[in-house]
Chains A and B, each alone.
Chain A
Amino acid sequence: MDRAESRDGKDGTQRRPGIGWLLRGLSKPLAGAAAIAGFVLWAHFGSGIQAFRSQVSSAPGWQQFRASYGLDDFGADSYFTRAAQNGYNLFYFTHEFGRRFTRKTARDAVNSCAGCHTAEDLAYGFVNSDRFDAKLGRRMSFEERVMRCYAGPMDGFVPTLYDPAVRDIRILARAVAHHLQLGEGARKDGS
């Protein structure tokens, strides 16, 4: 009787498959499941969960900024003050709070949006966005400008349009624009 017959149990005996055979059979599915689980764990713990949590760290200067720009009033009209706060963190401490989208570190001289812009610049930029940019030869939205800042001056990567790294900067710009009572197309020189 050959070995194959014995395995099939045609000789009346049944051989139990060994654990090694079982593991060999399952190795590929197990590896696949482990890879998926690994990805899920990485996505959960390692891919910017800080950006999506509802609590926002209070960065230095926040309380003063909040008082100066009346952000509590802004929040009272259905806006989330914490979105504006996250925008503040991203704007002034980009290397820390937007590290997914920048290679800049604490050692760099210019490592945040605030290195080039003031909060008021941001507000004026917002009310003058969605306009034709002669340099690029097309119309540019505020969000696209923020994305380009991450990719260019911040030496990093482009967030999606929906990412809080973009949205919260827009909301911060709205909050400041609200405080300054800016309308569409308002010019900084006031003319």
Chain B
Amino acid sequence: MATLPAKLLKVALIVSIPGGLYLLAVNKHAERDALRQAAVEITPACKAKLQDYALRPGEPYRSPYLRKMTGSWSELRGYSEDDVRAIQRGCNIVDDTQGQLARDGARERWNATRFSRSTHSSCDHCHQGVGDKQDAAGNRPVGSNGLAASWVMADMYDRFTGLLLPYELRQMQCYINSSNGFKPNAADDLLRDVTAYSRFLAAALDLKIGNRYPEQGMDEIAASATLRRGDDYVRGAHVYRQRCATCHGPQGLGTVVQGRVLYPALAGAESFSFDSRMNFARIDTVMPGFICRNMPLGAEGSLDNQQCRDIAIYLSTLPRPAGDKQGPLVAAWQQLMMTVMPPLTRYAESLGSNHTLHAPD
């Protein structure tokens, strides 16, 4: 029979454990609220972007971009200080998801690294120009994956998942697949701030709800858009070495200098997973579209459709993390390959370094 002190101890434990958890939750909420109220230190790219678009608190909002492109103003609902901070934080997340430019690291990015196993991934790698890529004249290139155009077309039927895909769910997929990570909650500030930023871009660019714009998505390239020679990873490897390896590395492992990711990994543990739409083996049109429209940086459009497909199929042969759909055996195998293949490939290439690689036509 339990004695009185033992009983009291049990009761104290039962009360203190949930009580402690409650206090912890209250504390975390207060921390988040303080962060929402704090001034935002924006990244240089975001500073330039948001200054160009004249983001400031007050009524009304007039977009300088619209003035520049059409010569007319449009008066839209202005933003409060809270809204401005949310937009600034969202821009920071897109530009620097890993918090490498932040003074307080990941905390200033709502700890986005919790949801990403990859230490390279940043939204800006696929959604270039901080989610709003433009040429010198201010035109938005086709297939540049603009966030504003995605926002106005959100909730549409997604043929890859069979869902009506809300914007937040689409962002979750980016974390799960492109960052090989985990799903944030739909109401997490991390997603909400990126949504706020995307919506601001849509206002600045004067995009209308439900209209399709050329910068939306990847401008996929199907085999039918080539001369149908077949996709060839040997040809792809050759073009990759000529046009991509300088930045992304000979094995696609990316370039990191002093802890900062200059060019992201396209293979290996820091790369996107098998489940990503970027994986050619899963969807064979998205990655070629991305390459053709957005790569190499500064020389976009210099690769033809077949070259883009060849590079994409080559990248799909490199080891990368398994996704949720592949199961533990494939995951273990990929883990082994990601460990073993880079040194083996380096060794093999050092043996043949005196020979010129045969370039198939």
A residues whose Cβ falls under 8 Å from a Cβ of B: 74, 77-80, 83, 123, 126-128, 130-132, 134, 138-139, 141, 161-162, 167, 170-171, 174-175, 177-178, 181-187, 191
Select A141's contact among B77, B78, B81, B192, beta carbons within 8 Å. B192
A-side contacts of B220, CB under 8 Å: none
Q: Select the residue from B60, B153, B155 with max chain A CB neighbours within 10 A.
A: B155
Q: Judge whether A132 and B82 touch: CB under 8 Å.
A: yes
Select B164's contact among A127, A131, A171, A191, beta carbons within 8 Å. A171
Which chain A residue lies CB-closest to B205?
Answer: A183
Which chain B residue lies CB-closest to A127?
Answer: B209
**CA–CA, A144 and B82, complex, Å:** 17
Q: Judge whether A77 and B192 touch: CB under 8 Å.
A: no
Q: Judge whether A177 and B77 touch: CB under 8 Å.
A: no
B-side contacts of A138, CB under 8 Å: 82
**CA–CA, A178 and B207, complex, Å:** 11
Q: Judge whether B209 and A182 touch: CB under 8 Å.
A: yes
Interface residues of B in 150-167 (CB under 8 A from A): 152-153, 155-157, 164, 166
Which chain B residue lies CB-closest to A178?
Answer: B210
Listed by A's residue number, 29 A-B pairs whose Cβ atoms lie within 8 Å are A77-B156, A77-B210, A83-B164, A123-B209, A127-B209, A131-B80, A132-B82, A132-B83, A134-B80, A141-B192, A161-B187, A167-B155, A171-B155, A174-B155, A181-B208, A181-B211, A183-B74, A183-B76, A183-B152, A183-B209, A184-B203, A184-B207, A184-B209, A185-B61, A185-B77, A186-B77, A187-B75, A191-B60, A191-B75
**Shortest Cβ gap from A102 to chain B (Å):** 22
B-side contacts of A162, CB under 8 Å: 186
Beyond the given A139-B192, A184-B202, please list 17 additional residue pairs across the A-B interface where CB-CB is below 8 A.
A80-B157, A80-B164, A83-B164, A128-B77, A130-B83, A132-B83, A138-B82, A139-B196, A141-B187, A171-B155, A178-B209, A184-B199, A185-B61, A185-B78, A187-B75, A187-B76, A187-B77
Which chain A residue lies CB-closest to B33?
Answer: A138
Q: Judge whether A177 and B209 touch: CB under 8 Å.
A: yes
**CA–CA, A128 and B199, complex, Å:** 10
Select B76's contact among A74, A171, A177, A186, beta carbons within 8 Å. A186
B212 contacts partner chain A, Cβ-Cβ < 8 Å:
yes
Q: Judge whether A79 and B76 touch: CB under 8 Å.
A: no
Q: Judge whether B195 and A131 touch: CB under 8 Å.
A: no
**CA–CA, A35 and B18, complex, Å:** 29
**CA–CA, A130 and B80, complex, Å:** 11
A-side contacts of B93, CB under 8 Å: none
B206 contacts partner chain A, Cβ-Cβ < 8 Å:
yes
Which chain B residue lies CB-closest to A131?
Answer: B83
**CA–CA, A187 and B74, complex, Å:** 10
Select B203's contact among A79, A134, A174, A183, beta carbons within 8 Å. A183
Q: Judge whether A175 and B76 touch: CB under 8 Å.
A: no
Which chain A residue lies CB-closest to B66?
Answer: A183
Q: Judge whether A79 and B186 touch: CB under 8 Å.
A: no
B200 contacts partner chain A, Cβ-Cβ < 8 Å:
yes
Q: Select the residue from B86, B186, B209, B212 with max chain A CB neighbours within 10 A.
A: B209
B115 contacts partner chain A, Cβ-Cβ < 8 Å:
no
B263 contacts partner chain A, Cβ-Cβ < 8 Å:
no
